[in-house]
Copies of this chain bind each other. A is one copy, B any other.
């Protein structure tokens, strides 16, 4: 399946994610070591399950953002490493739990942990990682950072429950969908970026700027992910094209196609997503309807709006290689669909 989403602003994304990876490399090695050491337990199933997912090659964008925003704000201490590891643990915990909720078979191109160790182990090891995340945060000793990340943990769970409640409802509005992805995805990006300036002792304005950067980057990131699920390739996704479709997930490409469609098309979406009655050729039909209504291209256009907000948020900071790398990361997230 080829890429069906066209892009205009190729030129702005020349930097890609590489500058951010490069500038955070030394600290990320320490974060990775911290992650490995903190998954250790005498209960051998815990490191097995945790490392199955952790070692499966995610981009670790979220902890990278904590390191990057701390550096952007001139942080000189040691706390950013533990906070970054906490952020990755929170992310890993939600992935383990998501796979159980969504009954997913694959994650990052490998069998999902629940397929190898079962649902119970996935849920409990997720809980263990959340606990370890809080332990590390407490060790850093910033009450404000603890407040931000624990609030995020609650908001993420709330977003997942919202998604559950909205699941399979083809009449979901774009606003309702946005509320879900703000919770389940953007909030952790926002918190990851906000704790950087917070431990650096930056002003409220800077903390709000970094938070706004992360929040809008997270929204753009999820929108592009949702478009890729219908228009990308398995290689780009680390999972199969059409997973959202098979799971009956209502994402923006569906919201737009449903609203722009005629009665017959809406019946198709209701049958496949609401009633879960998926036949051979339905995914291709879904993709054709999305093309017909420009739903993937417009999902990416909506993502661009949030990408612009993310970049304007960082405008407060003077030019620096780190600021440039963070702006490049925004373009990278939107341009992934290439």
Residues of B within 8 A of A239 (CB): none
A302: CB under 8 A from chain B?
Answer: yes
Among A67-75, A124-132, A169-177, the one that faces the other chain is A169-177
A216: CB under 8 A from chain B?
Answer: yes
Is the CB–CB distance between B312 and A216 below 8 Å? no
Is the CB–CB distance between B208 and A313 below 8 Å? no
- Nearest to A208 among chain B residues (CB) is B173
Is the CB–CB distance between A212 and B173 below 8 Å? yes
Least Cβ distance of A245 to chain B in Å? 20
Q: Which of A238-265 contact B (CB under 8 A)?
A: 255-256, 258-260
Is the CB–CB distance between B169 and A205 below 8 Å? yes
Q: Give A51-80 as 1s and 0s: 1 = Cβ < 8 Å from B's Cβ atoms.
A: 000000000000000000000000000000
Is the CB–CB distance between B176 and A208 below 8 Å? yes
Residues of B within 8 A of A176 (CB): 208, 212
Least Cβ distance of A50 to chain B in Å? 34
Classify chain A's interface size. 20 to 34
Residues of B within 8 A of A140 (CB): none
Stoichiometry, as copies per complex, reads: 2
> For the complex, what is the distance from the CA of A298 to the CA of B203, rounded to whole Å?
27
A309: CB under 8 A from chain B?
Answer: yes
Contact of A315 among B175, B259, B302, B315 (CB under 8 A): B259
> For the complex, what is the distance from the CA of A73 to the CA of B298, rounded to whole Å?
28
Least Cβ distance of A202 to chain B in Å? 11
Least Cβ distance of A129 to chain B in Å? 29
A305: CB under 8 A from chain B?
Answer: yes
Residues of B within 8 A of A211 (CB): 173, 175
Q: Which of A207-233 contact B (CB under 8 A)?
A: 208-209, 211-212, 215-216
- Nearest to A298 among chain B residues (CB) is B308
The 10 A-B residue pairs whose C-beta atoms are closest, nearest first, are A259-B315, A171-B205, A173-B212, A305-B305, A175-B212, A173-B208, A174-B309, A260-B315, A259-B312, A259-B316
